[in-house]
């Protein structure tokens, strides 16, 4: 199947450099692998049930979404144990250390992904069974 995407040139350039450095045959193969990795990480989040410990990391433009992010973090204070924040030029990087139901962590993750000013959200489920 052929498809097309609108992707900023700098992202395509960086992506091309990575797959070429890794010795892959072509961009299509690299895109397939990236899509499979995305599906795998998304499925892991979808399939996890019960109580979890997780790290949710995301980067964002502070001035674009800070009020909305603070509101969301307060709404999910039942699962957010701790936060860490650092500035990276015009971007901020935030880490949320979470413990609670997988459903709530999943809701939080999807909520963060809804903000236009948030560039990426990564979730690492550290433990499926909290004892």
Please check the confidence at residue 88 and state whether its pLDDT lies above 80: yes
Question: What does the mean pLDDT of the chain come to?
Answer: 89
Please check the confidence at residue 129 and state whether its pLDDT lies above 60: no
What integer is the mean pLDDT of 33-58? Answer: 84
Please check the confidence at residue 18 and state whether its pLDDT lies above 90: yes
Span 52-86, pLDDT tens digits: 999 999 999 888 788 899 999 999 999 999 999 99
For the chain, state the CA radius of gyration: 17
- Pairing type for strands 118-127 and 51-61 reads antiparallel
Please give the share of the chain, as a percent, with pLDDT higher than 70. 95
What integer is the mean pLDDT of 37-42? Answer: 75
Please, what's the largest Cα pairwise distance for the chain? 48
Nearest residue to 80 (alpha-carbon basis) of 62, 104, 61, 103: 104
Nearest residue to 123 (alpha-carbon basis) of 72, 70, 47, 58: 58
CA angle at 65 for the pair 59 and 66, rounded to the nearest 5°: 90
Higher-confidence residue of 2 and 95: namely: 95
- Is the separation of the CB atoms in 82 and 88 below 8 Å? no
Q: How would you label 37-53 residue by residue, b for 16+ Cβ within 10 Å and e otherwise?
A: eeeeeeeebeebeebbb
């Amino acid at each position: 199947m052929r498809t097309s995407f609108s992707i900023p040139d700098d992202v395509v350039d960086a992506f091309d450099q990575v797959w070429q450095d890794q010795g892959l045959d072509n961009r299509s193969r690299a895109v397939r692998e990236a899509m499979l990795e995305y599906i795998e990480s998304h499925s892991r989040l979808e399939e996890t049930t019960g109580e979890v410990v997780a790290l949710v990391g995301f980067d964002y433009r502070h001035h674009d979404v800070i009020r909305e992010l603070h509101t969301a973090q307060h709404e999910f204070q039942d699962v957010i144990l701790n936060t860490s924040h650092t500035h990276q030029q015009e971007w901020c990087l935030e880490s949320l250390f979470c413990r609670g139901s997988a459903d709530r962590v999943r809701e939080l993750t999807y909520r963060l992904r809804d903000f236009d000013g948030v560039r990426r959200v990564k979730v690492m489920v550290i433990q499926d069974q909290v004892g």
